[in-house]
Amino acid sequence: MAQPLEGLTAIVTGAGRGLGRAEALELARLGAQVVVNDYGGPVAGGPPLLERSRELGGGSGASSAGPAEDVAAEIRAAGGRAVVHVGDVADHQQAGELVQLAIDTYGRLDILVNNAGILRDRMVFSMTEDEWDTVIRVHLKGHFNTTRFAAAHWRERSKAAGGPVHGRIINTSSEAFLAGSAGQPNYAAAKGGIVGLTTSTALALAKYGVTANAICPRARTRMTEDVFAGFGEPADGRLDPLAPEHVAPLVGYLAAPAAARVNGQLLVVHGGMVAIAERPRIAAKFDTAKELFTFEELDELLTPYYAQRPPHETFAAGEVLALKHGS
């Protein structure tokens, strides 16, 4: 019996460990040949020391094929096909080389899973310019770079074929974008930008047969171990609800022909749960009684409205959202 992704080629970025590793293994299990991308080295603007990189949740040590090659070897040992790319997807040229590697090795690219990311957490009033730029670069620019080259490939293939082709983009956002995250202004902004990139890409590429969707995963990885420190792993041998393996099946589904009608969507996934997020809806609407609003009229309309809303729907000074986030 044919596997859902048999004959298809996938790229997974940041696939040396954690979430990316689980996704790469799942795509291979479903029949895809996988390009395993991982950098494992210091990113531009980040601290050069291994200890500091570990502290901040970023790529650590010198750029090395070790983690990526371990994942590729695991795929091959199970009978699959995999090749390794060691490079920084936030570098435009290296991202192009990654996509070209998939095409040169397997003749085509069908699936792009953007997962690579780092953390540089700090409150907004203490964050440095480098901490801001580095996270935006790796998450948001990294997603754009690979998407740009993959999209060009699918557009050319579609034109040559005279019709739609199989193309799938699965991007990684976060609930930090959905609900805020006080100590992660750079991360939350990058993840929000990824949703905007995803919906724009979905509209632009639909006519070529390509879909673009984003997931908001909760997963315990090296990058999020501090975020989920208060959520203990089960002691009875059951699978951790925050294990990356809970996320990977959704990525496999979104990559498959079965998900052809799923496009421009945002899905939250963790611990055996998938939730489909709606686009923002209008909660209330106010019209001026005159030609132009005045301060007094807005005060009469909006102040009572916000005063009667439940506390969890709005934030006053000093309130903290009691929800853990990660990707």
Q: Which amino acid is at 198?
A: T
Looking at 174, 181, 208, 327, which residue is catalytic? 174
Marked catalytic residue, from 181, 191, 208, 327: 191
Is 191 part of the annotated catalytic residue set? Answer: yes
The 10 Å Cβ neighbour count of residue 196 is 13
Work out the number of other CB atoms within 10 angstroms of the CB of residue 262: 17
- Sequence-distant (6+) residues with CB within 8 A of 267 are 213, 214, 215, 216, 250, 274, 275, 276, 277
* CA-based nearest residue to 46, from 127, 143, 131: 131
187 assigned to active site: yes
Which letter, b or e, does each residue of 138-168 get, where b requires 16 or more Cβ atoms within 10 Å of its Cβ?
A: bbbbbbbbbbebbbebbbebbeeeeebbbbb
Q: 39, 187, 208, 327: which one is catalytic?
A: 187
Cα torsion at 59, 213, 105, 38 (round to 10°)?
A: 10
Q: Are 5 and 27 in contact (CB under 8 A)?
A: yes
Q: Which residues are catalytic?
A: 174, 187, 191
